[in-house]
Amino acid sequence: MTEQNDHLVATAVAEGVATLTLDSPPNRNALSATLVQQLMTALRAAQENPDVRAVVLAHTGTTFCAGADLGEALARGASVEEASAAGTEAMLMVLRTILELPKPVIARIDGHVRAGGLGLIGSCDMVFAGPSSTFAFTESRLGLAPSVISVVLLGKMTARSSGRYYLTGETFDAVTAERIGLITQAHGSSEELDDTLAVALGGIRRAAPQGLSASKELTTAPIRAAFDRDAKRRATESAALFGSDEAREGMTAFLSKRRPSWDLSERPAP
């Protein structure tokens, strides 16, 4: 087995499997420029390594991925629009790379998944989730929409579920995520989660590389077609939303831990 710790993405290769672990728990494994760069490097290395048959995307901490790290770009002096554009470009690059990788990519998650993290699991071939996993599309509460990640999600989720969870922003568990097609399988314990992952990897190890690549091309064809057709339009839509007054109010309220001006609920803001 070979191991390498790239600070924010740890890589381990053993028995034909490259495990890439998002390892930036202080910012909830948000997709900073550094993390994205290291993740892309690790994915390309896995693709080029003839000894790697599959990739497992895992995480440390209680959050799998909280999405783009806009705070990093803002701290460098970028505008909200510039930060969101950079985050969108990075997200599209990562999603396309996972989709087009000629090897199966499996997400092993046991924590919270939000925003761009949902896009990551949407681009994976299989997603196995443990009991600590939670999911939420909270963009609408910020004056935004899950525009870019929808390219890889709408073809997997049921129409009724996207119509509910995109709009309400409510949190749901892994059992619900499995039922609506967002993940492959939910588990009641981490032991069950690892057992399922082992079974899936065992099947992959028995498959020929050519068979895996050709089969993945078949299963991802509809999503890749949607990606080619819609990605640019969704990125433009996302940029327009981020530049709006409502989005500025939503993000300011979120960072200030207060309710945005449009919130009519009786509950405290999350």
State how far the Cα of 238 lies from the Cα of 83, in Å rounded to an integer. 12
Is 3 a residue whose pLDDT tops 50? Answer: no
Buried b (16+ CB within 10 A) or exposed e, 75-109: eeeeebebbbbbbbebbbebbbbbbebebbbbbbb
Least reliable range by pLDDT among 63-77, 202-216, 219-233: 63-77
Q: What is the pLDDT of residues 184-217, one digit of tens each?
A: 999 999 999 999 999 999 999 999 999 999 999 9
User: Cα–Cα distance between 178 and 129 in angstroms, integer?
Assistant: 9
For tokens 């989720």, the residue is 157
Do residues 267 and 168 touch, judged by C-beta distance below 8 A? no
Rounded Cα–Cα distance for residues 120 and 260 (Å)? 28
Strand 134-136: give its sheet, edge to edge. 63-65, 112-114, 134-136, 172-173
- In the block, tokens 């799998």 appear at 64
Which tokens belong to 30?
């948000």
Gyration radius from the chain CA atoms: 18
Model confidence over 141-187: pLDDT tens digits?
999 999 999 999 999 999 999 999 999 999 999 999 999 999 999 99
Which range has the worst mean pLDDT, 38-42, 89-93, 189-193? 89-93
pLDDT value at 5 more than 50: no
Query: How many C-beta atoms lie closer than 10 Å to residue 256's C-beta?
Result: 10
Name 134's bridge partners.
112, 173
**Short-list 112, 192, 126, 135, CA closest to 156:** 126
pLDDT (0 to 100) of residue 71: 66
Tokens of 87: 């985050």
CATH of domain 2-189: 3.90.226.10
